[in-house]
Structure 1
Amino acid sequence: MQYDEFIGEVQHRAQLDSREAALSVSRATLTTLSERVQPGEAENLAGQLPEELARHLEKVDDVEGFDFEEFADRVADREELGENDPADAAFHAQVVVEVLDEATTGDTLAELRTQFPDDEYDELFELVDSEGSPA
Structure 2
Amino acid sequence: MQQQEFVSAVKESLDLPDNQSAERAVRATLTVLGQRLEGGEAKDLASQLPGGLADALPDQGAGERFDVDTFYQRIADQEGDGVTVAQARQHARAIAKGLETALTDGEWNNFTSQLPKDFQDFLGTEPVEKH
**Normalising by structure 1, what TM-score?**
0.87
Q: Which residue in 1 is equivalent to 2:77?
A: 77
The equivalences for 1:55-70 within 5 A come to 55-60=55-60, 62-70=62-70
Q: Which residue in 1 is equivalent to 2:36?
A: 36
Q: One-letter code of the match for 1:108?
A: E
Report the number of matched residues.
126
Q: Which residue in 2 is equivalent to 1:18?
A: 18
Q: One-letter code of the match for 1:121?
A: F
Q: Which residue in 2 is equivalent to 1:98?
A: 97
Alignment partner of 1:45 is 2:45: yes
Query: Given the alignment, which residue of 104, 116, 122 partners 1:124?
Result: 122
Q: Please, which runs of 5 or more residues in structure 2 have no aligned partner?
A: 127-131
Query: Could you tell me the percent identity over the aligned residues?
Result: 33
**Normalising by structure 2, what TM-score?**
0.90
Instruction: Provide the alpha-carbon RMSD of the alignment.
Output: 1.5
Q: One-letter code of the match for 1:125?
A: L
Q: Which runs of 4+ in 1 moved over 3 A?
A: 59-62
Q: CA deviation at 1:60?
A: 4.8
